[in-house]
Amino acid sequence: QSALTQPASVSGSPGQSITISCTGTSSDVGGYNYVSWYQQHPGKAPKLIIYDVSKRPSGVSNRFSGSKSGNTASLTISGLRPEDEADYYCSSYTTSSTLVFGGGTKLTVL
């Protein structure tokens, strides 16, 4: 199962909005509404911020939003804050009953 494709890095200034894309195939992202997004700060465990494409777990800021079009999912962070600087990973369920991750995107808040 090939990894999902994410940009290696994105950046933005405080207060701005950024979007991270996650491209797969019809066997994963395009085939199911089971896309999740995780935030990971250095040395820490991942934290779930979006599941089922666009749902937010309790306690996650509404500055985080998710969407999907075809084989590409997207994570948008609005009103960037310094604490948003982290690595972000998308994941998707697949037709092989497995999970596949993207390679990760490093977000820098300038």
Partner 1 sequence: EVQLLESGGGLVQPGGSLRLSCAASGFTFSSYAMSWFRQAPGKGLEWVSSILSGGNTDYADSVKGRFTISRDNSKNTLYLQMNSLRPEDTAVYYCAKGLLLCDDWGQGTQVTVSS
**Chain residues that interact with partner 1, rule: CB under 8 A:** 1, 3, 34, 36, 38, 40, 45-48, 51-52, 57, 87, 89, 91, 93, 97-104
| Minimum distance from residue 25 beta carbon to partner 1 (Å) | 16
Residue 48 vs 110, nearer CB to partner 1: 48
Distance CA 42, CA 57 (A): 21
Task: For Cα atoms 44, 110, 68, give the angle at the middle one, nearest 5 degrees.
Answer: 65
Distance CA 17, CA 14 (A): 8
The alpha carbon of 41 is separated from its chain's Cα centroid by a whole number of angstroms, namely 14
Give φ, ψ of 105 to 5 degrees.
-130, 125
| Minimum distance from residue 21 beta carbon to partner 1 (Å) | 16
| Minimum distance from residue 75 beta carbon to partner 1 (Å) | 15
Residue 17 vs 61, nearer CB to partner 1: 61
